[in-house]
Amino acid sequence: MNDLAAEFFKCTDRERAIFEAGIKLGSIYHQYVGMPINSTNVDSAEKAIMEGVKVQPFISGASVKIRRDSLKSGEGNYSYQSLTGEMMDVEISVKYGEETVTARMSYIEKLNYPLMYLED
């Protein structure tokens, strides 16, 4: 692996993978929350978010789901809504060196919060 920035990180490969996962989930949240969404663009929105994160360094896998049950129904010019963190379920895998971690952003009902956490 050729990581030109490695000299700036004083941590293990696992810690670096976890750091990278947190950066990527945070960027997804802050880049896409507020995006206009409805049933006509939900598939392409999921794909755009997933493809956007997959080109970032050290990503080995990504999955993005937007909860269809949270979309408003209706037709016409005003039938869209803004994407929220509560609507997203994102899972990413980050491989750095010999370490791979899986991180997730998912709405946790009992917390009433879209939590970003290390799953594996």
**CA 41: distance to chain centroid?**
18
Domain boundaries, the chain: 11-69+84-118
> Given this model, what pLDDT does residue 2 score?
85
Q: How far apart are CA 80 and CA 74, in angstroms?
A: 8
> Given this model, what pLDDT does residue 79 score?
81
> Given this model, what pLDDT does residue 66 score?
97
> Given this model, what pLDDT does residue 1 score?
76
**CA 6: distance to chain centroid?**
24
Q: How far apart are CA 105 and CA 120, in angstroms?
A: 13
Q: How far apart are CA 102 and CA 91, in angstroms?
A: 7
> Given this model, what pLDDT does residue 78 score?
78
Domain 11-69+84-118 indexed as CATH 3.30.1300.20: yes
pLDDT of the chain, 120 residues: tens digit per residue: 789 999 999 999 999 999 999 999 999 999 999 999 999 999 999 999 999 999 999 999 999 999 999 988 777 777 889 999 999 999 999 999 999 999 999 999 999 999 999 999
Output the CA–CA distances (angstroms, integers) from residue 108 to 40, 68, 82, 98, 99, in the order listed: 26, 16, 19, 31, 27
Q: How far apart are CA 97 and CA 39, in angstroms?
A: 40
Q: Got the DSSP string for 47-68?
A: HHHHHHHHTSTTEEEEEEEE-G
